[in-house]
Amino acid sequence: MDLLGRCIKGRFEPHELRRYLAFEVLFFWGLIFVCWNLYPKENHYSIMTHTFSFLGAFAPQHNPRWWWIFTIAMIFWGTATIPLALYHRRRFAAISRWGAAIGTGLFLIGSIGTILVGIFPDDRMMIIGNWRSTDIHARAALLIAAGFTFGILWYALLLLKNLVFKTNRFFNYRKLAWPYLFWITLTGVGVYFQVKWGFIYADMKAAAKISGQQIGSSWSEAMNTRYSFPLWENIVIYTLFIFLIWFTLVLPSETTDSNEN
């Protein structure tokens, strides 16, 4: 099988995997950097006030000229993650074939969501019927969150199973603990601040009603604070990308023969 065919099927050799991941990192973040750098200065892009997807929104107040660079980046990321999902399946099949298949399916859902986020910008352009581009974009973002979050947690359960039942001795739990600790910590902090803000804003709204004062929306009132949704959305996306690369690198390149069929 030639190199391209093996990589597409997730049959990476260790040196090939490292090169593949390095290329993915450089190409994706290179495109994102270019897109950010070309974002109109007058629109003042900031992770404190702008979601990651605003880089790819073509509305005048966002990135009307260079939005398509973000589209290419997201389609690339989603597509490039598919061979990695297949690689994960081959590694985790040493613990459980059906468990590895479920984990792969969840990661593929996340990958498809990533591609769709790129194809459908966060804008109000009508696509079909009453469906706007932003409506499809929002649902695709949910696919990313659900697919990768449940996939990551599912693989954690498989690792726990392996730890308890000693199914396979090749998994290095010390190395695997670090990407999980990184992902859980930052994602957990983000969730905490968003949940806490819900209660804070409810109290603000109640106090404003009593005093007769006007306050902005939950979104606008949180801008430029540690409760800002765009801030934590950006951080969680960066965290997910780093986790997927890190997690892939620390998986064992050698397991039992049962996952090489």
What pLDDT score was predicted for residue 257? Answer: 46
Q: Is 132 exposed, middle or buried (0-12, 13-18, 19+ CB in 10 A)?
A: middle
131 beta partners: 128
In the chain, the number of structural domains is 1
| pLDDT, average across residues 122-145 | 92
Domain range for 138: 3-259
Q: What is the pLDDT of residues 103-123, one digit of tens each?
A: 999 999 999 999 999 999 999
Cα 92 to Cα 105: distance, rounded to the nearest angstrom:
13
Query: 108 or 210: whose pLDDT is higher?
Result: 108
Q: What is the pLDDT of residues 42-70, one digit of tens each?
A: 999 999 999 999 999 999 999 999 999 99
36 is written with which tokens? 């950010």
CB 259 within 8 A of CB 91: yes
| pLDDT, average across residues 198-213 | 93
Packed helices 229-250 and 14-38: angle between N→C axes, nearest 10 degrees: 160
What pLDDT score was predicted for residue 124? Answer: 86
User: Which secondary-structure segment (H or E) carries 219?
Assistant: helix 218-222
Packed helices 97-119 and 133-165: angle between N→C axes, nearest 10 degrees: 160
What pLDDT score was predicted for residue 1? Answer: 55
What pLDDT score was predicted for residue 258? Answer: 44
Angstrom CA distances, 40 to 29, 60, 73, 185, stand at 19, 9, 18, 33
Q: What is the pLDDT of residues 162-183, one digit of tens each?
A: 999 887 889 999 999 999 999 9
Whether the pTM exceeds 0.75: the reply is yes
Q: State the DSSP code for 39.
A: S
Res. 260 pLDDT band, cuts 50 70 90? very low
CB 77 within 8 A of CB 30: no
| pLDDT, average across residues 37-42 | 96
Among 36-45, 104-113, 204-213, the minimum mean pLDDT is found in 204-213
What pLDDT score was predicted for residue 256? Answer: 57
Among 1-5, 120-124, 156-160, 235-239, the minimum mean pLDDT is found in 1-5
| pLDDT, average across residues 216-243 | 96
What pLDDT score was predicted for residue 10? Answer: 87
Sign, Cα dihedral of 8, 168, 146, 68: negative
DSSP 3-state of 173: helix
